[in-house]
Every structure is written in structure tokens, then in C-alpha cells.
Copies of this chain bind each other. A is one copy, B any other.
Amino acid sequence: MARAGLTNIIVVEAAERLIDEPDATPLTLAALAGRLGVKQPSLYKHIGGMDDLCRSIAVRAKLELADVMARAAVGKAGGDAITSMSLNYRKWAATHPGRYAATVRAPVTGDAEDEAATLEITKVAFEIMSGLGLRGDDAVDAIRALRAVLHGFVTLEAQGAFALPADIDRSFDRLLAGVIASLAGWANS
């Protein structure tokens, strides 16, 4: 039997593609193996198991999201940076629902790589907030606020919770503008 030539990264990337597909059936190793032309137990030669696979996806997704956020804010300052970052955050979450869900998972305590990836997002957020003049606890509050807003909106949108017949983009833009105006005011408090 010709070998499939799998590697850890090939398996992980295939899983990422699988969970980001629109119909979004829950990830199973059998489905993943089938997609790779291999039987389910063969995957264990390349991943430690389901938990390990999900962790790999989470770490990579966090780094990817941090990158999306950082690139969106390049060359922008203050509210403009937040707006651009938020729009790209929402867009990436919408086009990568599975990966986005993975970014929310808190790292297991002691998992240095996962903790570093999580910190990467926080660092980008801090840098963007510093452009609004926010430091220390103010910045923490601001990051939590913006993250809650983005995560809440994106999650509800993905679950089809915004059923009412009104433009969702407009709702998002208004919410974002309001939050940014709030955050801008915190710098003086």
C-alpha cells in the first residue's frame, strides 16, 4: 500500500480546513482520516490524539488571529486602529469559524506554547490601546471591553442569533463606534 506521506502539520492543516467548512459538522478523527485517505488509527502516528490536535489548532489559530489583528492596525492610530482591527477580526472569525472558536479556549496552565500564543493576542491589543492613551488597568479594562464586544457579536452572528430583519453590518458599526468613543474617554479618567 502506497504511503500517504502524512506529517503532523498536514494533519493539523487538514483539520483546520475541515472545521472551517460552512456546514460545520463536529470534528471527528474518522472524518479527518477519511479526508486524508487514511484510516483513523493512522492519525495517531502524527498527533497525540484529539486533545493534542485541538491544542495545535488553538495555538496556530491564536497566532493567526494575533497576526490578523496586528496587520490590520499597521499604520493606523487610536480609533482608526481599533476600527480596522475590529473589522478584520470579525471578517476572519466569519471566514474561519472553527479556527475562531479555537482561539477562545484558555490555555492549560503550564502549556508554555499555548500561553505564549494567547499572550500574543493580548500584546497586540495592548499596543493598540496604547494608541488611545490607555495604560495599566485602564488598558486592561479596555481590552476586556473590546474583546467582549467583538467576541459576543461574532459568536452571536455565527449562531444566527441576529434574526431580526435589520442590517447586521450597521449594528456592528454603530456598536463599534460607541465603544471606541467610550474607550477614548477613559484615558482622562
Chain A interface (Cβ within 8 Å of chain B)?
Answer: 104-106, 122, 137, 140-141, 143-145, 147-153, 155-156, 159-164, 166-168, 170-171, 174-175, 177-179, 181-183, 185-186
User: A149 touches which one: B143, B152, B170 (CB < 8 A)?
Assistant: B152
User: Given the known A-B contacts A106-B161, A178-B179, are A141 and B166 also in contact in the complex, defined by CB atoms under 8 Å?
Assistant: yes
Closest Cβ–Cβ distance, residue A148 to chain B (whole Å)? 4
Closest Cβ–Cβ distance, residue A24 to chain B (whole Å)? 13
Copies of this chain assembled into the complex: 2
Chain B residues within an 8 Å CB radius of A105: 159
User: Are B151 and A106 in contact, CB atoms less than 8 angstroms apart?
Assistant: no
User: Are B141 and A106 in contact, CB atoms less than 8 angstroms apart?
Assistant: no
User: Are B122 and A159 in contact, CB atoms less than 8 angstroms apart?
Assistant: no
Chain B residues within an 8 Å CB radius of A182: 175, 177-179, 181-182
User: A156 touches which one: B104, B153, B181 (CB < 8 A)?
Assistant: B104
Closest Cβ–Cβ distance, residue A177 to chain B (whole Å)? 8
User: Are B162 and A153 in contact, CB atoms less than 8 angstroms apart?
Assistant: no
Which residue from chain B places its CB closest to the CB of A163 in the assembled complex?
A: B106
